[in-house]
Amino acid sequence: MTELATALQNWEPVIGLEVHVQLATRSKAFAPSAILFGAPPNSLTDPVVLALPGTLPTFNKAALEMALRLGVATVSKIRAKSRFARKHYFYPDSPKGYQISQYDEPLCEEGVLDILLPEGGRKRVKLTRIHLEEDAGKSSHAGAFSLVDLNRAGAPLVEVVTAPELGSAEEAAEFMRALHRMVRYLGISEADMEKGQMRCDANVSLRRRGEDRLGTRAELKNINSFRFVQKAVEHEIARQARILDGGGTIVQETRLWDADRGASFSMRSKEEANDYRYLPDPDLPPLHVDGPLMMNVMRTMPELPMAKLDRFVRDYDLREPEARQLIEAPALADYFDAAIKAHGSDRAARTLAAWITTELGGALNRDGKSIEDSPVTPAHIAALVKLIDDGTISGKMAKTVFDEVYTTGTSPDAIVARDGLRQISDPVEIERIALEVMAASPKQVTAYRAGKDTLFGFFVGAVMKATGGKASPQVTSDVLRRLLS
Amino acid sequence: MIWSSVADQAHAVRTKAISAVELTRAYLERIAAKDGELGAYLAVDEAGAIAAATRVDECVARGEDPGPLAGVPVGLKDVFVTEGLATTAGSRILEGWIPPYDGTAVAQLRAAGAVVLGKLNCDEFAMGSSNENSAYKLCRNPWDLTRTPGGSSGGSAAAVAAGLCSFSLGTDTGGSIRQPAAMCGVVGIKPTYGRVSRWGVVAYASSLDQVGPLTRSVADAALVLEAICGHDPRDATSVVEPAPLLASAPTAGVDGLTIGIPVEYGGDIDPEIAAAVQRAAAILREAGANVVEISLPHTRYALPAYYVIAPAEASSNLARYDGIRYGIRRGEGGLAEVYRATRGAGFGAEVKRRIMLGTYALRAGYYDAYYKKAQQVRALIKRDFEQAYATCDAILSPTTPTPAFALGANATPYEMYLADVFTLACNLAGLPGASVPAARASSGLPIGVQILGRPLDEATVLRVAGAIERAAGVMDLHPPFAS
């Protein structure tokens, strides 16, 4: 039994997450500079970002609308009047000496986000709050020098804070996936974790199974991939269990997750914690959310992931795992919907889903492409499935056709017409070929009839080979069975 | 033309009676001759001023209108950010910083044709009431060189009084325009909070800071205010109302206005100042105003509330001076050492004191007891004024408890803080307020009285100030130093 599994027998993990998601506005939260990943260091700055004397922040309203979309999607209570606060700390990547955030009057409170449980089913996770804030710059340390890049400084973020009610590292990772999916559906963030557009801090504590009281927590910072969320939390659970089992106590502290070493290190204890000296920002008036703004947000809400999942299962009779796969990215779900529409029959949904997740998904995955870059359109997939449905081509032939569609972008109908592809499903024609095959392989016929059933595939293959793969597998199989019996 | 009004100077330039360059040179020569003794300027931008004046003259020559402040030479308190011209806020920590941009008020002055002569002395980061907190040099009162010009816009008041600029801009967080204006015998106006953009003004206490003119007449003040007021999208606290039309206000009279005199503003003040207020009240009554007593019961809490709110905001606003991006940098080795050494060397004693006060007030667990409580007091002070304005149109009071005091006289910070006791409430309530010269003390020092108005009602403040100015008969007096 692993250390973690042993730990989990005695201890129940209680996990809360604080997730930062960068909003996809064109300019910064309180400054005119553009936001662009990968620009030369410090090229995306201006007097406000540099905190030059005399500069003032002005709030980018686009960020508000985006945050409201998340608030509505998570059924949060939205404050008609929220407020920005200054959170003070000295660090070179924080040019003003404070970060503009929200403190006691956040934009959203008491929301929920449903996560998909790996074993099936869902869990509704309470959100304590969602608030707006600005990002800091990036520090890197090179020997005796420290370098600061302020390109990211001032980018708008939402911080999503969950209640401490995630029960495992898997659930923590699933929460991240659910939030990632949600913000992409809402179109408010690309949430690319590799670009730091989504980052997570995790509060982890253990309590003896059966107890209600929360244990002392440690905060893990700097978690920046789905995989690391799970690893970091698992590591922390094991670390705390080891201490508790050894009769020790957990120190309330902030720990830094080092993904390279797969370990965490103490950053500061509770006593060393910053006093952020929160102050309502006197440069920024309260943030008002009025009726027309809310109406506009509500009116333009897309279908959300869980609703889509329900619809795929309910209307298209998809199996849950396949439906989960399809809703993972909004573009993929849209692709599936478009394919059904192009095909015209809901009954083809399962077949379409299979083609999209298996053949297309496999090919895209192999080539590192996303569904947005797919050379195969939803109409192509629909046409391919129709050709199978009406018996024009076999499933096997369809795979060959698919490969060409994928490579060349030519439509399946055009390929079929050009190559005269048509499966042979006339039993008389197939019987003629089958008899030729049998005549050429008397030993195998004898062996099969003597009970070597596995040779059946040999005959099917031989017929296929003789017809250039055009024989209907079903008819071939029927005919062979009759002739060989 | 040195002592001519802003309007007359602009008119003379526009009609080619004098060139902007001539006018500018006249002031530059006076600065060169007199400012060594006075200490009003921290930096004189001779080349920039001549270049700006030349552009105004070229504009006139082309038959175009350079604007209502055509060629009028202005001095700027050194908290105004000026493109290409060093801006120090009177602090060592900003030594050597050359800003890459102009603040809004400065840009508006330039657009109206004004010529920037240079940057004026002030208390460090506008914190002080005597200009003695300037990190660079002492500024003296032109009426008595042993006395303070007041502060924090001390250089702005002294330069105008001494004729070293036609007018100046100052900032007022707790009285920093009105108090030095009173002490130097000039007009100073702090408009309604949000009237003039704070973009490009080095921040002291953001919820209180406001830009305003210091001038030799109420009419000049009206003209300058028209040029610098108005909504600015770069300042989120800027009021949306368009700039008011004020030109006719100074001469509009006070007939039918009701002027309130707060009963609480008596107390411990110089008898000559009390007499000046009485005299101003009599002038207004004679001019047709109705003078009544009003009550502002929470005024006594203005000083303690101010000295929580202003330092709290200052401690936050001054966090950016860390030696990393601009200004001086001191200290070797680690980051913490750079912070300590830079801020230790860069900030003066009063600035450090206020940063400490503010940091203390904002500590976790103390917020409610200090900052929040002070904001509640502030709301009560605001309500006092709202109730008063139900029965009066403007409020008359002393500007300062005493005329200009001797340099070095105020031994403790608290005694110095008392110099602003009459002016603080106006900032806490965000109201427009002015100081206008109303009398002379027996010592010969100027005495100003304060007029406060309703929010956005600078016009009434100017009407009342204009009426006092006309009848008080101290307007055309100039300090002997200036002649």
pLDDT in tens, A432-444: 888 888 888 888 8
Q: How far apart are CA B252 and CA B261, in angstroms?
A: 21
**pTM, two decimal places:** 0.91
**Cβ within 8 Å, pair B326-A277:** no
Residue B152 to residue B202: CA distance in whole angstroms: 13
Q: Residue B96: its chain A contacts at CB < 8 A?
A: none
Average pLDDT over residues B154-169: 98
Q: B197, B202, B325: which to substitute to probe chain A, counting the most A Cβ within 10 Å? A: B325
| A283 and chain B in contact, CB less than 8 A | yes
Element containing residue B110 per DSSP (H, E): helix B104-111
Residues, chain A, total?
Answer: 485
Asked if the C-beta of A83 comes within 8 angstroms of chain B's C-beta atoms, the answer is no
Which position has the token pair 């009084």?
Answer: B161
User: What does the pLDDT read at residue A300?
Assistant: 92
Which chain A residues have a beta carbon less than 8 Å from that of B203?
Answer: 53-54, 283
Could you tell me if A466 lies within 8 Å of chain B, comparing CB atoms? no
Residue type at A165?
E
Whether A96 has its CB under 8 Å from any CB of chain B: the answer is: yes
**Does the beta-carbon distance from B94 to A53 stay under 8 Å?**
yes
CB of B35 within 8 A of CB of B10? no
Closest partner CB to B319 (pick from A47, A90, A283): A90
CA distance B135 to B137: 6
Q: What is the DSSP letter of A357?
A: I
Structure token pair of residue B13: 């330039």
Q: Does the pLDDT of residue A1 top 60, yes or no?
A: no
- What is the C-alpha radius of gyration for chain B, rounded to an integer number of angstroms? 21
> What value does the mean pLDDT take over residues B214-240?
97
Task: Give the whole-angstrom CA distance, residue B96 versus residue B328.
Answer: 7
Residues B253-310: tens digit of each pLDDT? 999 999 999 998 777 788 999 999 999 999 999 999 999 999 999 988 999 999 999 9
Contact B202 A97 (CB under 8 A): no
CA distance A29 to chain B (A): 13
3-state SS, residue B212:
strand
CA distance A219 to A232: 11
Q: Where are the domains of chain B?
A: 6-251+476-482
Q: What is the pLDDT of residues A398-428, one digit of tens each?
A: 888 788 788 888 887 777 777 777 777 778 8
Handedness of CA B74, B77, B78, B79 (dihedral sign): negative
Nearest-CB residue to A277 (from B198, B233, B363): B363
Cite the DSSP H helix spans in B136-251: 154-161, 178-184, 218-228
Phi, psi of B37 (to 5 degrees): -85, -35
Q: Does the beta-carbon distance from A53 to B237 stay under 8 Å?
A: no
Q: What is the pLDDT of residue A232?
A: 87
Residue B242 neighbours by CB distance under 10 Å? 9
From residue B144, give the alpha-carbon distance in Å to each of B139, B185, B376, B409, B415: 11, 12, 41, 14, 21
Which DSSP string corresponds to B218-240? HHHHHHHHHHHBS--TT-TTS-S
Q: What distances in angstroms separate CA A415 from CA A118, A244, A400, one per listed residue?
A: 41, 67, 10
- The alpha carbon of residue A291 is apart from the nearest alpha carbon of chain B, in Å, by 21
3-state secondary structure of A232: helix
CB atoms closer than 10 angstroms to residue B64: 10
Read off the pLDDT of residues A265-305 as tens digits, 9 standing for 90 and up.
Answer: 888 777 677 789 999 999 999 999 999 999 999 999 999 99
Let me know: does B246 contact B212? Beta carbons within 8 Å: no
Which residue's entry shows tokens 């409020």? Answer: B395
pLDDT of residue B411: 67
Inter-chain touch B236–A56, beta carbons under 8 Å: yes
- The answer to whether residue B228 scores a pLDDT higher than 70 is yes
Which residues between 124 and 153 in chain A have a beta carbon less than 8 angstroms from any beta carbon of chain B?
Answer: 146, 148
Most distant CA pair in chain A, distance:
97
Task: Check if the interface score ipTM surpasses 0.90.
Answer: yes
- Could you tell me if A221 and A273 are in contact, meaning their C-beta atoms sit under 8 angstroms apart? no
Instruction: Write the residue in A56, A96, A146 that is nearest to B320 by C-beta.
Output: A96
Catalytic residues of B: 77, 152, 176
Chain B residue numbers with beta carbons less than 8 Å from the beta carbon of A54 are 79-81, 87, 99, 103, 198-203
A159's enclosing H/E stretch is: strand A156-162
Euclidean distance between CA atoms A38 and B58, whole angstroms: 47
Mutation site, A103, A148, A150, A279, interface B, largest B CB count within 10 A: A279
Kindly report, residue by residue over B355-385, the tens digit of the pLDDT: 999 999 999 889 889 999 999 999 999 999 9
Tell whether A268 is within 8 A of chain B (Cβ): no
Q: By the 8 A CB rule, do B152 and B441 touch?
A: no
- All residues of chain B having their beta carbon less than 8 Å from the beta carbon of residue A139 are none
Check B320 against A275: CB less than 8 A apart: no
Name which of A50, A57, A90 is nearest B325 (Cβ-Cβ): A50
Rg (CA), chain A: 29
Residue A41 near chain B (CB below 8 Å): no
Are the Cβ atoms of B316 and A277 closer than 8 angstroms? yes
* pLDDT at position A309: 93
Q: Is the pLDDT of residue B410 over 80?
A: no
**According to the model, what pLDDT value does residue B294 have?**
96
Spatial distance between the Cα atoms of B16 and B26, rounded to a whole number of angstroms: 16
Instruction: Reduce the DSSP state of residue A205 to 3 states and report it.
Output: strand
pLDDT category of residue A478 using cuts at 50, 70 and 90: confident
Chain B: nearest CA to A139, how far in angstroms? Answer: 13
Among candidates B202, B233, B322 on the partner chain, residue whose Cβ is nearest the Cβ of A54: B202
> Is the pLDDT reported for residue A42 higher than 60?
yes
**By the 8 A CB rule, do B50 and B25 touch?**
yes
* Exposure of A120 in the CB half-sphere (CA atoms within 13 A): 4
Measured in degrees and rounded to the nearest 5, phi and psi for residue A409 equal: 80, 5
B312 vs A: CB within 8 A: yes
CATH code, B6-251+476-482: 3.90.1300.10
Contact A282 B99 (CB under 8 A): no
Identify whether B152 is preceded by a cis peptide bond (ω within 30 of 0): yes
Asked whether the predicted pLDDT for residue A363 surpasses 70, the reply is: yes
Scanning B46-85 for CB atoms below 8 A from A yields 79-81
Q: Look at A56 and B198 and tell me if their CB atoms are within 8 Å.
A: yes
Is A59 in contact with B236 (Cβ distance < 8 A)? yes
CB B208 within 8 A of CB B428: yes
Interface test with B, best of A52, A99, A271, A281 (most B CBs within 10 A): A52
C-alpha A130: how far from chain center: 20
Alpha-carbon gap: B435 to the closest alpha carbon of chain A (Å): 26
Q: B311 — contact with chain A (CB < 8 Å)? A: no
CA distance A351 to chain B (A): 56
pLDDT at A55 over 80: yes
Contact between A47 and B234 using a beta-carbon 8 Å cutoff: no
Domains of chain A and CATH, by start: 3-297 (no CATH), 303-419 (no CATH), 427-484 (1.10.10.410)
* Neighboring chain B residues of A59 at a CB cutoff of 8 Å: 236
In chain B, the percentage of residues whose pLDDT exceeds 70 is 99
pLDDT band for B116, please (50, 70, 90 cuts).
Answer: very high
Beta strands in A52-116 (DSSP E): 77-78, 81-82, 85-88, 98-101, 108-116
- Nearest Cα neighbor of B113 from B222, B227, B4 is B227
A229-238, A466-475, B31-40, B334-343: least confidently modelled range: A466-475
Q: CB–CB of A109/A128 below 8 Å?
A: yes
Q: Which of A47, A96, A282 sits opposite B319 (nearest CB)?
A: A96
Cβ pair B89:A51 closer than 8 A: no
- Checking if the pLDDT of B99 tops 70, the result is yes
CB proximity under 8 Å: B 195-224 to A: 198-203, 205-207
Query: How sure is the predictor about B193, in pLDDT bands with cuts at 50, 70 and 90?
Result: very high
* A54: nearest CB among B81, B207, B312: B81
Structure tokens at A314: 């309910």
Tell me the residue type at A323.
A
Closest CA to B230 of B199, B196, B198, B200: B196
Burial class (CB in 10 A: 0-12, 13-18, 19+), A363: middle
pLDDT reported for residue B227: 96
Best CA proximity match to A445, nearest among A400, A404, A480, A395 = A480
Token pair recorded at residue B100:
């890459």
Chain B: residue whose CA lies nearest to A92: B324
Alpha-carbon gap, residue A339 to A386, rounded angstroms:
11
Look at B99 and A53 and tell me if their CB atoms are within 8 Å.
yes
The arithmetic mean of pLDDT across residues B87-114, rounded, is 97
| DSSP code, position A39 | P
Three-class secondary structure of residue A370 per DSSP = coil
Measured distance CA(B428)–CA(B173) in Å, rounded: 9
